[in-house]
Chains A and B, each alone.
Chain A
Amino acid sequence: MIDRRLLVRYLVPAVLGAMLRATAVLTLVPLLTALFDGTGAWGWTALFAAAVVCGWAVEYAVAHTGFAIGFGLLNGLETRLLDRLQRVPLGWFTTERKAEGQRALTSSGRELCQSITHLVTPAVNALAMPLLIGLGLLAFSPALGLVALAAVPVLLGALWASMRCVRAADDAYAAASGEAGTRIVELARAQAALRAAGRAGTDGTAVGRALDRQRRAVLRLVGFGLPGHLLFGLAAQGVLIALAVTAVASAGSAATVVALLIVGVRFIEPFTTLADLSPALQALRGTLARVRELLNAPVLTGDDREPLTGAPAVELRDVHFAHEPGRPVLSGVSLTVERGTTTAIVGPSGAGKTTLLSLIARFHEASAGTVLVGGHDVTALDPAVHMGRLGIVFQDVYLFDATLRANIALGRPGATDGEIAAAASTARLDELVERLPGGWETRVGDRGAALSGGERQRVSIARALLKDAPLLLLDEATAALDNANEAAIIGALDARRDGRATVIVAHRLSTIARADRIVFLEEGRVVESGSLAELLASGGRFAGYWARREAAAGWTVV
């Protein structure tokens, strides 16, 4: 990620800068000795000044290189993150991972970029300085040098332990207050139910318990945090005393002893800097962890393969799938979708209908069994090529904040205006285009917010139609359409089928009735499958479902 030469160009002067500073500090011994003895100190002062000024120049250069590295990092990181995102299985994204991913995309590059100058350079300096000063002191006072060098691990250890304690305490507090918060939010959400039940204000028990736990946790947390709060400060002061005692005990002139005392204080100072930097370093750890999680996310792989002639469009062989072990969503599903046919997936919620589609689209990969598309195991197909052969219309339609035309044209880059208009017309969008003030050039808003649910679905259908892929997956794609539009669109899809296979998850009876084959899914298993006539005649689960749906459609309140 970082250019090696650039790193060398950064680290060499960074260490050189620390050495110059350490030299300046060590010059203080003869300088101050001379000053307090009243002998001429100007020569030493000139040397000191030279070291400091050279240090400035070097550090100025370091800042420049650090800046260049930071920006290199920013560009490289963002490109890599975006590239990774394109190849991660969609199923990998949970709500938390999406939130973390968003933070990683939005700010991690910038944070890492800034951290070079604000964190890494000072931290490198703060770590190098004490060691260099300790080594240098050996020349002036071996005893003091040894004490200083011995103090380095002690102070770093104390700093590390302090950070650990504080972090543990903060985590404990966050957990406890998080629970109390969750309970209160729940209480807010259930207000209507609670009050309608005459339970307002009295139902504080679960909340009350959480609050009490939280209150105790705060006090316990002080138990954790207190050593963290005091440890480093005490260690630093202890080292200061040890240095003072050693300096006084060393057999130097009074002036030398005093000079050594002052150098001792300079020796401690970088540790304080590190302590001040520690919260920011912690935050940097979080940023790096987020970036690492995304960069280490699994990726989809596969080759570019042409569909086998004669193979069914889709075939599932004993497919199992579970989001988490022990809670199967699909258990041993087998089904075949021939080219040029439409299969409707029907069943109660939680049956695994959407999961089934997402396995075909390879948003997830099956835990066991095989999903074949065009005769090839989907896991062996290049994801981009596979996607290229799919048309997908989801339940939650996603439109980009762009014009209506751009959102449809996504279906086939390079499509002519005529082709776009034809797809839109088939998806019954003519009326919308006429009604919108900007026509084709109207922006649809964030996520298509400017359109109604049914309009969004029609745009998404037009997009899929334009793509004209050999395999079409529709997940309740017409749920938000009124009957007239729905019938027209399904009819158009049928008419333009020419060898295209369609798998559709549907509740609407008219949609189900048009399918060549119906698969009734329940608790992750195929319970029944066949044509509408066959299934109704058999009087099984599907027939019961059909009857209930028919009854529901004619329902009146009174």
Chain B
Amino acid sequence: MRGYTIVDADAERGTVAMEFLLHEPSGPASAWARHAAPGQRLAVTRWASTHFTVPEPAPAGYLLIGDAASLPGINAILARIPETATAEVILEIGDERDRDIPVTAHPGASVRWVSRAETAVGDADRSDWYAWVTGEAAMCKGVRARLRDLGFPKGAVHGRAYWTRGKAMGTDRETEAPPPAATKGSWRSGAGARLLAPLKPAFIFAGLLQVVVTLLELSPYLLLAELGRRLLDGGTGLAGLGVLALVLMGSGALLSGLLVLGMHAVDAAFGHRVRRDVIGKLSRLPLGWFTGKGAGRVKKAVEDDAQGLHYLVTHAVLDVVAALVAPLVVLGYLFTVHAGLAAVMLIPLLLFAILTARMVAASTGALSRFTTWEERVAGEAVSHLEGLAVARAYDAGPGRGFGATLAERARFLDGWQRPLSGRKAVVDLVTRPMTSLLLILAAGGALVSAGLMDAPALLPFLLLGVTFGGRLLAAGYGLGALREARDAARRIGLLLTEPEIAEPETPRALTGERHTVRFEDVSFGYDGRGDVVSGVDLELAPGTVTALVGPSGAGKSTLASLLARFHDPRAGRVTVGGVDLRELSAAGLYRTVGFVFQDVALIEGTIAENIALARPDATRAQIEEAARAAGIHERVVSLPGGYDSPARLSGGEAQRVTIARALLADPAVLILDEATAHADPESEHEVQRALARLVAGRTVLVIAHRLHTVTGADAIVVMDGGRVAQRGTHTELLAAPGLYRELWHAARPEGAHA
């Protein structure tokens, strides 16, 4: 972000093109570029770069702030973010000609050239926005301060600053009085922190106790040092030390045990609450959320992430405190014993830091290639296992290719690690206790013989100063675990802050039996992506069957799912009996509107419980009647437990149980996916007969994939690209040229056979 942008990178050939912004006075990049020629080779070190990745979940908007120099990066971002996203680009003007630099066109972006970016930010509520701030250092500082005022959390502000004329220029910028305090927004990205907030007092308390425990655990070594000193002094009061050691050890163990118990109790309560919250949340999320990635996210949250939080509460915090406190206390103590020798103890640590930093610097490229390799190998391993049958049936299967991939990765690892192995060994040896001992004996021995130190003063060093280097390193691993736990908390927090479907405070009731269903200028799209359904008007008269047809992706299923309130429309409304779905309670809506879709969901329980799901008070006779009508009764009574058997059935059978369920629920309006009938070829006919009984006498909206199944519908609505393209009866539509006729002729009805 120093006024150049890498474009057209070709990883395989290792070539790039670079776009430069030439400016005066020029910095090193600009100066170099002025004299650069194509084909010139240059050595590159990557240092302190910030990547842009499209954030997940999508932010409410993108605030991109920069200047002429950082505009290429902003242009690249504008090209990457989804077309439906909102973006605000604020560019600080340095020269009037800056306005001539082209900005990438984006349908949702507004661009402003301003004199002062932090003022231009204004004080609008930008909750859940993503901010990218790049530009000259002082400007970035000002903007970041302003964003902080607006409530932007650290994690929502990205980007990097540069200096144009050295640091001096940054301080040149005259500071303005800060604008009046603005309204603070709130960010879902802070969800993790909010989730953990109630635990903060417990963490602080436990952390403090852990400090005490750690000190108690160190005390035997201090007492040993004291014991040694007294022995060398003539050996008095040794028994007292022994007793003290026992008391300290006992209390340390007791306290540590209590601490562990306490944190587990905290964790049990917290874990319980989180799971309860997740369950409560499930019942308030729009149903459509579950058909997308939702179910997988729930799984991740309650399985992996819950485990992560458990580890955080019961171990990670205490471990990190212990790992940090012990070496620091020891080091502090040793400095009070003899500062000079204590300083010598820092040498291995320093060496370690330098060697590791150099190794990391040498590995940056390899590290990212390592990640790529791991992903590639994992992906190919899955393919290899899945394709094993094919690979064997065809002897030359690219399974052999997987062997080559593994060998190639091994070569990569070898090539990367072998040169480092020597250095790694050195790093390891530097932090060994024996190395510290050698230092203590050499330096300490010299100090003692020079009379600068008493021999007994070496005791604390010999007992405590040997292992703290290694321990300090352990703290690093602990911090990694903390970071993972924080990510887990964030994911659970995000799940708990997913937008909910609004329940009306005073729900309206549907009276009467027969209801007209209306879609009024309805538009809808998923998560800010383009509309899948746009401007649909549709009326379903009571007791009629309306079929939705059209090419795949036309929006048929999405439109139907709006009537089942899987989502709320972005614009327009859906009404039943004149009442907007949003004004009905969930219970009230689903008493009237039922649906039978392709994915069958049986709940844990008996077959009878599954059929009577919507009417738990139904008698066995009513349940059996519904099962008979759905053509599943015979199958059920053939099971050893009859209706009380657990609901573990084949696809077609389960489908008929859900049809029996819908028959018993008896909704006036029914949404049906025609593909339901074809889910299981063996029982296709039975399912079809059950569906025919279910449809009779209701207001039906059917999503039809095979045109010939709905030729008898009262109305056929042909959808194309989210809009209603045609409507009419089968005969009317077939008579007129149009999409329906094309589809009909292209389909060659499936029923035809030899």
Decide whether A and B are members of one complex: yes
Chain A residues with a Cβ under 8 A of chain B = 21, 24, 28, 31-32, 35-36, 38, 41-42, 45, 48-49, 52, 55-56, 59-60, 63-64, 67, 71, 74-75, 78-79, 82, 85-86, 90, 93, 98, 101-102, 105-107, 109-110, 113, 117, 173-174, 177-178, 180-181, 184-201, 203-204, 206-207, 211, 214-215, 218-219, 221-222, 225-226, 229-230, 233-234, 237, 240-241, 244-245, 248, 254-255, 257-258, 261-262, 265-266, 269, 272, 276, 347-350, 361, 363, 383-384, 387-388, 390-392, 394, 398, 400-402, 406, 410-411, 413, 446-447, 463, 467, 479, 482-484, 487, 507-510, 513-514, 548-549, 551-558
Instruction: Give every chain B residue within 8 A of A383 (Cβ-Cβ).
Output: 392
* A548–chain B nearest beta-carbon distance, Å: 4
Kindly provide the distance from the CB of B633 to the nearest chain A CB, expressed in whole angstroms: 17
A-B contact pairs, 27 of them (CB 8 A): A28-B437, A35-B448, A45-B445, A60-B426, A63-B425, A67-B421, A82-B399, A102-B382, A105-B384, A174-B307, A192-B566, A198-B586, A198-B614, A200-B587, A203-B603, A218-B310, A219-B265, A254-B232, A392-B390, A398-B387, A413-B396, A484-B748, A508-B753, A509-B753, A548-B686, A556-B711, A558-B545
Give complex CA distance A557, B730 in Å. Answer: 13
A234 and B298 in contact, given A102-B382, A102-B385, A187-B282 (Cβ under 8 angstroms)? no
Chain B, residues 202-225, CB within 8 Å of chain A (1/0): the string is 000000000000000100110010
Q: Mark B392-424, 1 if CB is under 8 A from A, else 0.
A: 111111110011001100100110011001101
B751 touches A554 (CB 8 A): yes
Q: Which B residues are CB-close (under 8 A) to A255? A: 232
Given contacts A24-B437, A201-B280, A229-B257, 4 further A-B contacts (CB under 8 A): A192-B291, A211-B279, A240-B220, A266-B466
8 Å CB contact of A75 from B407, B425, B467: B407
Residue of B nearest to A240 (CB): B220
- B172 beta carbon closer than 8 Å to chain A: no
Given contacts A109-B410, A196-B590, A218-B271, contact A178 B303 (CB under 8 A): yes
Contact of A265 among B221, B595, B603 (CB under 8 A): B221
Asked whether A553 lies within 8 Å of B709 as measured between CB atoms, the reply is: no
Closest Cβ of chain B: how far from A363's Cβ, in Å?
7
From B235, B455, B704, B753, A510 is in contact (CB under 8 Å) with B753
Interface residues of B in 640-660 (CB under 8 A from A): 650-652, 658
Question: From A59, which residue of chain B is reached at the shortest CB distance?
Answer: B429
For A401, list chain B residues within 8 Å (CB): 383
Cβ of B709 and Cβ of A556 under 8 Å apart?
A: yes
* Chain B residues near A187 (CB-CB < 8 A): 279, 282
Q: Does B691 contact A (CB under 8 A)?
A: yes
CA distance A215 to B591 in the complex (A): 36
The complex places the Cα of A548 from the Cα of B393 at a distance, in Å, of 35
Contacting pair A31 B425 (CB below 8 A) = no
Q: Which 3 A-B pairs have the closest CB atoms?
A: A197-B614, A63-B425, A201-B283
- Nearest CB in chain A: distance from B65 CB, A: 39
In the assembled complex, the CB of A271 is this many whole angstroms from the nearest CB of chain B, namely: 12
A194 neighbours in B (Cβ, 8 Å):
603, 613
Alpha-carbon distance between A265 and B714 when the two chains are bound, in angstroms? 91
Q: Pick the contact of A222 from B260, B307, B395 — CB < 8 Å?
A: B260
Q: Which residues of B contact A173 (CB under 8 A)?
A: 310
One of A36, A177, A191, A549 near B290 (C-beta < 8 A): A191
The interface-forming segment of B121-129, B157-165, B185-193, B456-464 is: B456-464
* A349–B302 CA distance with the chains assembled, in angstroms: 34
In the bound complex, residues from chain A placing their C-beta under 8 Å from that of B227 are 244, 248, 261
Q: How far is the CA of A38 from the CA of B449 in the complex (A)?
A: 8
What mask results when residues 371 to 397 of chain B are scored 1 for a CB within 8 Å of chain A, else 0?
A: 000100111011111111111111111
Residues on B with C-beta less than 8 A from A221 are 264
Q: Which residues of A contact B576 (CB under 8 A)?
A: none
- Please determine whether B754 and A487 come into contact, CB atoms closer than 8 angstroms: yes
User: Given A79-B403, A552-B685, does the pair A181, B306 have CB atoms closer than 8 Å?
Assistant: yes
Which of B55-63, B133-141, B245-253, B532-540 lies at the interface?
B245-253
The smallest C-beta distance from A222 to any residue of chain B, in angstroms, reads 4
Taking the complex as formed, is B228 at the interface, i.e. its CB lies under 8 A from any CB of chain A?
yes
Q: B494 contacts the other chain (Cβ, under 8 Å)?
A: no
Enumerate chain B residues within 8 angstroms of A245, measured Cβ to Cβ.
242
Q: How far is the CA of A4 from the CA of B710 in the complex (A)?
A: 75
Cross-chain contact A64 with B425 (CB below 8 angstroms):
yes
Which residue of the partner chain A has the closest CB to B394?
A410
* Interface residue tally for chain B (C-beta within 8 Å): 158
Chain A residues lying within 8 Å of B64, measured Cβ to Cβ, are none
Q: A21-B434, A206-B604, A225-B260 are in contact. Are A106 and B691 (CB under 8 A)?
A: no
Q: Are B253 and A185 in contact (CB under 8 A)?
A: no
Provide the bound-state CA to CA distance between A86 and B695, in Å.
Answer: 52
Cα of A198 to Cα of B238 in the assembled complex, Å: 76
Known: A237-B220, A258-B232, A557-B713. A463 touches B394 (CB 8 A): yes
Q: Output the nearest chain B residue to A201 by Cβ-Cβ distance.
A: B283
Bound together, the chains give a CA A55 to CA B433 distance in angstroms of 12
B433-A446 in contact (CB<8A): no
The docked-state distance in angstroms from the alpha carbon of A396 to that of B269 is 46
Chain B contacts for A248, CB-based, 8 A: 227, 231, 238
With contacts A193-B658, A509-B754 taken as known, whether A558 is within 8 angstroms of B713 at the C-beta atoms is yes
Residues from chain A with a CB closer than 8 A to the CB of B700 are 557-558
Stretch at the interface among B7-15, B511-519, B674-682: B674-682
Is there an interface contact between A49 and B396, defined as CB atoms closer than 8 Å?
A: no
Known A-B contacts A206-B604, A241-B245; the reply to A226 vs B410 at CB < 8 A is no
Task: Say yes or no for B27: interface residue by CB 8 A criterion.
Answer: no
Could you tell me the distance in whole angstroms from the C-beta of A29 to the nearest C-beta in chain B?
Answer: 12
Once A42-B445, A237-B249 are accepted as A-B contacts, the answer to whether A254 and B231 lie under 8 Å apart by CB is yes
Q: Residues of B contacting A38 with CB < 8 Å?
A: 455
A32 to B384, CA, bound (A): 62
A394, B604: Cβ atoms under 8 Å?
no
Q: A192-B290, A552-B688 are in contact. Are A215 and B271 (CB under 8 A)?
A: yes
The answer to whether A193 and B279 have CB atoms under 8 Å apart is: no
Taking CB as reference atom, which chain A residue is nearest B615? A197
Contact of B438 among A49, A102, A390 (CB under 8 A): A49
B residues less than 8 Å from A180 (CB atoms) = 275, 302
CB–CB B268/A218 < 8 A: yes
Are A226 and B614 neighbours in the complex by a CB distance under 8 Å? no
A265 touches B463 (CB 8 A): yes
B547 at the interface (CB under 8 A from A): yes
What residues of chain B lie closer than 8 Å to A230, measured between beta carbons? 253, 256-257
B-side contacts of A400, CB under 8 Å: 383, 387, 390, 397-398
The yes or no answer to B19 lying at the interface (CB within 8 A) is no
8 Å CB interface, B333-357 against A: none
